[in-house]
């Protein structure tokens, strides 16, 4: 099961990074500048961390998977609300807040789920 959760975390991390590449470089209006690059890098950090955890420490892959799934859910809601169904003119500001929330909330969540997986699920492995 460790290998499956590691592989799933890595694949979903690649999907998350690709999703942010599309948002920052394809859907962006105007020329691509430093702001787009910084936004892409900030939004990709949780996925890169999850990828690193899943590849380096497979016993903690449940934590990496939790980071990726919650980040994808949160970022999916943000992208849907910003590009497809905006409710106000300030909806685009969520693109700035979402990476910050991911950077603050995802590491503790990953540690809790990783500890749980290592302690209870992957004990024999």
- Count of structural domains, the chain: 1
- Provide the residue range defining the domain that includes 23: 2-121
User: What is the tens place of the pLDDT at every residue in 21-71?
Assistant: 998 898 877 788 898 899 899 889 889 988 998 888 887 888 888 889 988
pLDDT of 98 > 60? The answer is: yes
pLDDT value of position 6: 87
Task: List the structure tokens of 21.
Answer: 């590449």
Statement: the pTM of the whole predicted model exceeds 0.95: no
Beta carbons within 8 Å of 111's beta carbon, 6+ residues apart: 63
Cα–Cα distance for residue pair 54/41, rounded to 1 Å = 19
pLDDT of 10 > 90? The answer is: yes
**More reliable by pLDDT, 121 or 34:** 34
């Amino acid at each position: 099961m460790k290998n499956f959760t590691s592989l799933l975390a890595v694949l979903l991390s690649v999907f998350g990074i690709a999703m942010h590449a599309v948002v920052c470089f394809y859907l962006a209006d105007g020329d691509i500048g430093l702001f787009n690059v910084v936004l892409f890098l900030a939004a990709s950090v949780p996925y890169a961390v999850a990828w690193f955890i899943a590849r380096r420490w497979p016993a903690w892959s449940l934590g990496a998977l939790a980071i990726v799934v919650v980040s994808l859910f949160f970022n999916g809601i943000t992208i849907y609300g910003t590009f497809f169904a905006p409710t106000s003119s300030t909806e685009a500001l969520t693109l700035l807040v979402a990476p910050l929330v991911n950077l603050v909330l995802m590491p503790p969540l990953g540690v809790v789920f990783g500890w749980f997986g290592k302690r209870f699920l992957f004990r024999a492995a």
